[in-house]
């Protein structure tokens, strides 16, 4: 579910409730997440004081004085600040109780998400070590992407969704960025011109930035740390709009499956 804007929105909601707080107790109701929670998970976290809540790609990094809790929301996960007295709902798998009297509650129906507690540098963890640059950092520029696209036959949409190239761009924002750049998703990455790559980099940054500003995109179940949806859905040009008129030229939006994911584009605006 959540792509970079949704994870960043969650981070911003969690940070004020978590930073400086002690995790007094950890309650696990379901250990079978993407990776099974180890036996010592609760004990390792209990008593930790949260230093800060960071983000790398779609991972949330809850840094404490004794280690870092790495959280990924998978397709259907959310983290909410709740009153721990509130009765747990289905798929409320983990609670982190805070010394403020509140709790962070992890809910994930599909259980593609994960929670991993690491003692050392979280960025050195195998899951994070091989990630490409952040799309909103200066490292991700046209020079970089142009270089990484050369001699690549994959479709540009799949390349842009590859976390080794650039992180945080999932199925919604890949389609949306390509629309804004005027590029067909099925174009071979290696055949983009330099000018096209310049447009694409700008479009990725713009669309992610705009989505963060309005709290991300809620299609079905995404909610932020306060349980509220994001409002970027209203700004989508192509995603989940197959057959509907293009907002720019009225041509019906097309859809096809590309690398097992639905792709949407306007055959007139995108070349």
Burial of 207 (0-12, 13-18, 19+ CB in 10 A): buried
The tokens describing 108, both together, are 């994930």
**Quick check: is 247 catalytic?**
no
Q: Is 18 in the site for DNA (CB under 7 A)?
A: no
Among the residue ranges 20-28, 40-48, 70-78, 197-205, the one whose residues contact DNA (CB under 7 A): 70-78
Asked if residues 37 and 31 have their Cβ atoms less than 8 Å apart, the reply is: yes
The tokens describing 134, both together, are 């952040």
Q: Is 132 in the site for DNA (CB under 7 A)?
A: no
Q: Is 205 in the site for DNA (CB under 7 A)?
A: no
> Residues for the chain: how many in total?
271
Burial of 144 (0-12, 13-18, 19+ CB in 10 A): middle
Asked if residues 20 and 53 have their Cβ atoms less than 8 Å apart, the reply is: no
For Cα atoms 17, 41, 11, give the angle at the middle one, nearest 5 degrees.
30
| One residue of 102, 110, 213, 247 binding DNA per CB under 7 A | 110
Neighbouring CB atoms inside 10 A of 257's CB total: 8
Q: Is 74 in the site for DNA (CB under 7 A)?
A: yes
| One residue of 54, 111, 205, 235 binding DNA per CB under 7 A | 111
Query: Using DSSP, how many helices (H) and how many strands (E) does the chain show?
Result: 7, 10
Task: Name the pairing type of β-strands 67-72 and 254-258.
Answer: unpaired
Q: Is 219 in the site for DNA (CB under 7 A)?
A: yes
CB of 242 to DNA, least distance (A): 9
Give the total of residues touching DNA (CB under 7 A): 41
- In 3D space, the residue among 71, 80, 73, 58 whose CA is nearest the CA of residue 108 turns out to be 73
Instruction: Choose between 91 and 187: whose C-beta lies nearer to DNA.
Output: 91
**Quick check: is 2 catalytic?**
yes
Q: Is 227 in the site for DNA (CB under 7 A)?
A: no
Q: Is 259 in the site for DNA (CB under 7 A)?
A: yes
| One residue of 40, 90, 120, 243 binding DNA per CB under 7 A | 90
CB of 228 to DNA, least distance (A): 12
Q: Is 213 in the site for DNA (CB under 7 A)?
A: no
- Active-site annotation holder among 2, 5, 135, 185: 2
The tokens describing 261, both together, are 């994911």
**Quick check: is 90 catalytic?**
no
| One residue of 64, 107, 218, 270 binding DNA per CB under 7 A | 218
Report the SS3 class of residue 202. helix
**Quick check: is 3 catalytic?**
yes
Catalytically active residues are: 2-3, 58, 261
Q: Which residues sit at the interface with DNA, rule CB under 7 A?
A: 1-3, 6, 32, 34, 57-58, 72, 74-76, 90-91, 109-112, 127, 151-154, 158-159, 163, 170-172, 216-222, 230, 259-262
């Amino acid at each position: 579910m959540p792509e970079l804007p949704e994870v960043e929105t969650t981070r911003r909601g969690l940070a004020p409730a978590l930073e400086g707080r002690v995790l007094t107790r950890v309650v696990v109701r379901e250990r079978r997440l993407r990776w099974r929670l180890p036996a010592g998970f609760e004990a390792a976290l209990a008593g930790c004081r949260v230093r800060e809540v960071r983000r790398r790609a779609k991972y949330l990094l809850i840094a404490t004085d004794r280690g870092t809790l790495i959280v990924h929301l998978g397709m259907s996960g959310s983290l909410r600040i709740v009153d721990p007295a509130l009765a747990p709902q289905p798929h409320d798998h983990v609670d982190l109780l805070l010394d403020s009297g509140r709790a962070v509650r992890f809910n994930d129906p599909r259980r593609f998400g994960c929670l991993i507690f690491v003692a050392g540098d979280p960025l050195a963890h195998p899951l994070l070590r091989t990630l490409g640059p952040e799309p909103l950092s200066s490292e991700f520029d046209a020079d970089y992407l142009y270089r990484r696209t050369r001699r690549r036959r994959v479709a540009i949409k799949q390349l842009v969704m590859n976390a080794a190239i650039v992180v945080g761009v999932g199925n919604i924002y890949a389609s949306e960025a390509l629309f804004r750049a005027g590029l067909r998703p099925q174009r071979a990455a290696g055949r983009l011109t330099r000018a096209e790559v310049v447009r694409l980099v700008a479009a990725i940054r713009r669309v992610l930035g705009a989505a963060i500003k309005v709290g991300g995109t809620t299609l079905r179940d995404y909610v932020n740390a306060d349980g509220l949806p994001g409002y970027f859905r209203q700004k989508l040009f192509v995603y989940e709009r197959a057959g509907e008129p293009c907002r720019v030229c009225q041509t019906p939006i097309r859809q096809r499956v590309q690398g097992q994911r639905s792709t949407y584009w306007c055959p007139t605006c995108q070349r």
